[in-house]
Structure 1
Amino acid sequence: MFFPIGVGVLDVKHRIEKFHTPERKQTAGFLDILLEAAIRQQAVVITYGVDPEGDRVIQPIGIYEDEGFWFCPAFCYKRKAFRLFRADRIRSAARAGEEERPAPVT
């Protein structure tokens, strides 16, 4: 579709200004533990969401924010696969003890 210069641009600009994506700001209380574990390539024991199976051991590979939510990609030793965890759904996090600490994922 072709718009004459000036007419269509203003119409599109008006529509864009009305388009609004709500800003979300979720709190995530364990970002420091997750980031330190990612840097040091250490395992962390977390309780995630409403997981009926209890705690799981993960090895974070980083953290990032997207549209107000913090995410932690990590290797999950329980599932033996990489998973993406939303940080605000982590209910507890602590460095894994020696007996819980699996070999690092490299």
Structure 2
Amino acid sequence: MLEKTSVTARLGGSNTAQTFGPAIELAENFNLSLWGEFTARVTIQRSFDNGATWLNVARFERPVEAMGYEPETALYRVATLPGDFMSGTVCARLGPGIPVNQNLPKESE
């Protein structure tokens, strides 16, 4: 199993190839950040069989800050698929979020 930390990737290349960031095991709340200057469709994929099969779960065409929820444990990765990358560099980060039962720290007075 993969360690539960965040992963960061830079995706670029050609419009005919597919590129993938590293996979990360996620469960419950997680965070997604996409940034950079790019013309591309970025696909978020997940796998329930330790990476043998990948399913497309979301697509983005511009920078985004998003939170997700995975009710089971699954591997996630960021990808650009054939025909989806035109130019630039996609920077991406996937990582665990704050557990549902944990409150954010309060500001000091």
Tell me the TM-score normalized by structure 1.
0.28
Pick the structure with more strand per residue: 2
Q: RCO higher in 1 or 2 (8 Å CA, sep ≥ 6)?
A: 2
TM-score normalised by L of structure 2: 0.28
Greater helix content: 1
